[in-house]
Every structure is written in structure tokens, then in C-alpha cells.
Amino acid sequence: MYDSLSAKVLSRGWFCYDAASFPSVAHSLSIDLHTHSTFSDGVLAPADLVRRAASRGVDLLALTDHDETGGLAEAARAASELDVTLVPGVEISAAWNGQTVHIVGLDIDAQASQLVDGLASIRRARGERAVLIAARLDGVGVSGSLAGAVRHAGNSAAVGRSHFARFLVEQKHVRNTSDAFRRYLGAGRSGYVPPAWPQLALVIDWIHCAGGQAVLAHPDRYRLAPRVLQSLFGDFAQCGGNAIEIGGDGRFKASAQIRLARHFGFALSSGSDFHAPGKNVSDLGDVTEIPPGVTAVWQRLRTVK
């Protein structure tokens, strides 16, 4: 696996990187460092995800299921048979100033005990929250949602709001998953239960204890005012956070994120946050290119050394 990437790196001059030559090199390598499989709320099994990534020309792929590393072994087996290098990853739910933020861990040792125990505690909290969500939905006339969500999750230890959303669509309570979040599952809606995620600092510690790089996922999606976003970046830096993800089409354009990343000394990461094939969603490898003059997080990954 490493050999094939090394060969690519050499043949395409990857490590001849400098700010001036990077753009032309970047075009020839495809990365995707944020994706989901059936081990969380994605719809493709890990091996199918890797095969799809390979068929779309992705060279460097991270599987980053929510609070779960169970799909990594299958993904690694599939990658070893294909021209894809797999970065072991995870996307961890964390609390910052009373709101949820997602921290992607890249290059993690999935056996590291702090990480294993931490993720298990989050999955327990997910299970408890699912019972409460179902009770709230029951209260507004939606019955049977716990069993329905668990059925969609496949893996009952990883039940999330996406699985409730799929149940609500299936039962025709809503037309699509966006509607499900808007009407039932989003913050303040009738089926919303405030989550009990661990604090940001603790989550970053788990990732570091597992040898990984901590990446602040999709900062544009938290809908924070510029000052608050800056405060999040500052706290993330103080906790030892390593990189932030660019991309998305939210209020905070990539240019603002890049400026802040430079200010705080973060590397940049980029990923599709792929969950399922479909219209109007990013597919594997559809990522915002990392611009010149900023360190790309993959340059710091042991997996590509």
C-alpha cells in the first residue's frame, strides 16, 4: 500500500512540493480525507466506499465514521488490493461552548486505549440519546422510531439523527432528510435532544494519544459569526488542534478560513464528507483544492511517509 503511494509521490514529484510548484502537482493527485460508511451514517460498506473512491481516481482516502473505527479493517483490506492509500480516521462529536463541533482524527491508531474508551463512551451516549429522541417523537405522534432508526443504522451502537431522518422519510412523515432535520431533528425542534458530547480539549487529547492529527471539520457549517469562529479557532489552537478543513459553500468562504488558518498556524485538510451517492451532494474526491502557501495536512501523515 505504502509502496504504491510512494511510487506515485516520486513519479509525480509530490514531495518536491513548495509553494510555487504545488498547484500543478495538486491537480495530479486526488485526496479525500473525510468520508462515511455503513459503520456510521453512510450508505456504502467500507469496501464499496474504497472501490468507488478508486474508480473515481482518489489516491489518498480517509474513512472517518462518526465516533466509530469499526470499518477501518475492511477498508484497509479493500485498499490494499487497489491503487488507493487508506488513512485510518474517525470523526468525533465534541462540545464547545455548548454547541456541537466535529473533530476529524487522521492517521489514528484505532487500538489506542484512550481513544477506544472515549469512542465507546460516546456511543453509549448516542444510545441513550436515541431512546430520548424516540420518546420525544412519540410525543408528537411519530411512533416506532427507535426500532426504525436502529434498523437503518445497521450498527445499533452508532445510531444517529441521520438514521431517524431516514425512518421519517420512509414513513412519509417528511419528504426528504433535510425536511426531517428542519421539522423534527434540528436544534430546538420537537425531536431534538441536546447531546452530551465530550469537551473539545478531551477529544483532541484522545486523537493525539492515538498518534493522530486533529482536524476541525467543516467550520463553515457551524453558522458562527466571524468573531465566534475566530474564538473557536483560538480555542482549537490552544488545545493543540492541528488542521482545519476547507470547503463548503457556507457564509464563511474558504478564503476567510485560509486567512485564519495562516494566522493560527494550522495545516489545511480537505474532504467531501461523502455519505451517499446522489444529486446535489459531493461525491468521493469532490474536494476543495488546498491552495499554495499553506501546509496540507497530508504532508504530516505517517501513512504517506
Contacting Mn ion (CB under 5 A), which of 5, 9, 39, 41?
41
Instruction: Could you list the beta-strand ranges (E) of the chain.
Output: 31-32, 60-63, 85-96, 99-106, 213-216, 243-246, 267-270
Compute the C-alpha angle 209/211/216, nearest 5°: 85
Q: Which is nearer to ligand AMP, 59 or 91 (CB)?
A: 91
Residue choice 52, 161, 173, 208 for contact with ligand AMP (CB under 6 A): 161
Q: Cell numbers for 214, please give them.
A: 486533529
CA distances from 95 to 36, 138, 227, 270 (A): 21, 27, 18, 22
85 binds ligand AMP (CB under 6 A): no
Q: In this chain, which stretch among 11-19, 116-124, 158-166, 253-261 interacts with ligand AMP, using CB under 6 A?
A: 158-166
| Residue labelled with grid coordinates 504517506 | 304
Name which of 113 and 176 has its Cβ closer to ligand AMP: 176
Q: Which does 52 bind (CB under 5 to 8 A by kind): Mn ion, ligand AMP, none?
A: none
Contact yes or no for 59/83 (Cβ under 8 A): yes
**What residue has cell string 494519544?**
209
> In whole angstroms, how close is the CB of 275 to ligand AMP at the nearest point?
6
- Shortest distance (Å) from residue 285 CB to Mn ion: 15
- From 177-185, 211-219, 240-248, 287-295, give the range in contact with ligand AMP by CB under 6 A: 177-185
218 touching ligand AMP, by CB under 6 A? no
Task: Using DSSP, state whether 269 is helix, strand or coil.
Answer: strand
**Which span (173-181, 227-235, 238-246, 290-298) binds ligand AMP, by CB under 6 A?**
173-181
Q: 123 is in the binding site of which of ligand AMP, Mn ion, none (Cβ under 5 to 8 A by kind)?
A: none
Q: How many CB atoms lie within 10 A of CB 179?
A: 15
**Least Cβ distance, residue 128 to Mn ion (angstroms):** 19
Return the CA Rg of the chain. 19
Q: Does 102 bind Mn ion (CB under 5 A)?
A: yes
Range list of H helices, 58-157? 72-80, 113-139, 145-153
**Stretch binding ligand AMP (CB under 6 A), from 26-34, 48-56, 176-184, 211-219:** 176-184
User: Which residues touch 161 (CB under 8 Å, ≥6 apart)?
Assistant: 133, 181, 185
48, 80 in Cβ contact below 8 A? no
Positive/negative CA dihedral, 199, 201, 204, 205: negative
- The residue within the footprint of ligand AMP, chosen from 275, 290, 296, 298 (CB under 6 A), is 275
Q: Taking contact as CB under 5 A, which single stretch among the options 20-28, 227-235, 273-281, 296-304 is the one that binds Mn ion?
A: 273-281
Residues that bind Mn ion (CB under 5 A): 41, 91, 102, 217, 273
Residues that bind ligand AMP (CB under 6 A): 41, 66, 93, 160-162, 177-178, 181, 275
